[in-house]
Amino acid sequence: MPQNSRLRHDGPSQPEDGRQSALRRPVSGMLYRFFYLFSLLPPMLLRLLSLLVYWVLSTVMRYRYSVIFQNLSRSFPEKPSVEIRKIVRQYYRHFSNLFREILESASLSENEMLHRVRVINPELLNRYQQRGRSLIIMLGHQGNWEYLNIVPKYFSFDMYALYKPLSNVYFDDLIKRFRSRFGMKLLPMTQAARFMLTHRDRPQAYFFIADQSPAPGSRCCIDFLNQRTLMFEGAEKLAGSIGAVVLYAEFRRSGEGWDLAFRLITEDPSATSPFEITRTFGKYLETSIQERPSDWLWSHRRWKHTPAEVA
């Protein structure tokens, strides 16, 4: 059964800078109220809105069509063009559904969100937490990753999601409101290493969305979706530094909601070879994508950097 997280305000502090004026709180509050009011529309109207978004993205704007088509074609070279175009349409539909689900979540109660997201095997995380082990949980931009915000309600220990702050402070505030509604603590990427090392003796869980395109010169390069692919290695390095158990997380569509399942990558990062954890993550994510191609974020320019060094 879901459990309420212990909501302690012991996360990393984020001092105000020159951009964060006195207008920040009221402006971000107005933005949130705007989305909140839209989320109160009847479900039928929200579905119609989702269909409108789908039509605009796929037909009017053809949003990043060349990027999506190229990414899919290179990832599935065995598929004919007609099948690739079908997946492109399915992706636009998935993307518009994500928009609707995120919008709806602004006003959903805790119980309603718990019905939207079902954790399949919470006992895996609880087992390691009871042993005093911290967890690093790796996932991709697959399914509805924004629904991670409700996951802390299933557990009795603190959970952190690493994120990169947006340059626009008002939208950054808005995103943080959505992501922290149900007890998920947000940890800026630039503060993650110091925070995790400082709190290494406290069993906690850290979510890493680990499939972004890293900067050129990354040393970790793996075979992923039929392409040599640069990968972030931060999760793997930190797992070794704090002795964390590493898990893979996967969202699967289930009716009107999502199932979230966890899978072990390693209990002992120190016993793995260099980049083995990242390669295993890539393999698991690749399998998830191959099973449900339209559920991944194909509009991202994932392969914009060419591997400079093969691991």
Mean pLDDT for each consecutive 10-residue tract of the chain (311 residues)?
46 51 73 90 95 97 97 98 98 97 95 97 97 98 97 97 89 90 95 96 96 83 95 95 98 95 98 97 98 97 75 43
- 197 and 242 Cβ atoms separated by less than 8 Å: yes
pLDDT in the model for residue 285: 98
Radius of gyration of the chain (CA): 20
For position 216, what pLDDT does the model report?
72
User: For 276, what's the count of Cα atoms within 13 Å in the CB-facing half-sphere?
Assistant: 13
pLDDT tens profile 19-73: 555 677 777 788 888 889 999 999 999 999 999 999 999 999 999 999 999 999 9
Contact 154, 111 (CB under 8 A): no
CA distance linking residue 205 with residue 203, whole number of Å: 7
Looking at residue 202, its pLDDT comes to 94
Cα separation, 46 vs 27, whole angstroms: 25
How far is it, in rounded angstroms, from Cα 309 to Cα 254? 40
pLDDT (0 to 100) of residue 17: 52
Quote the pLDDT of residue 236.
97
180-193 confidence digits (pLDDT tens): 999 999 999 999 99
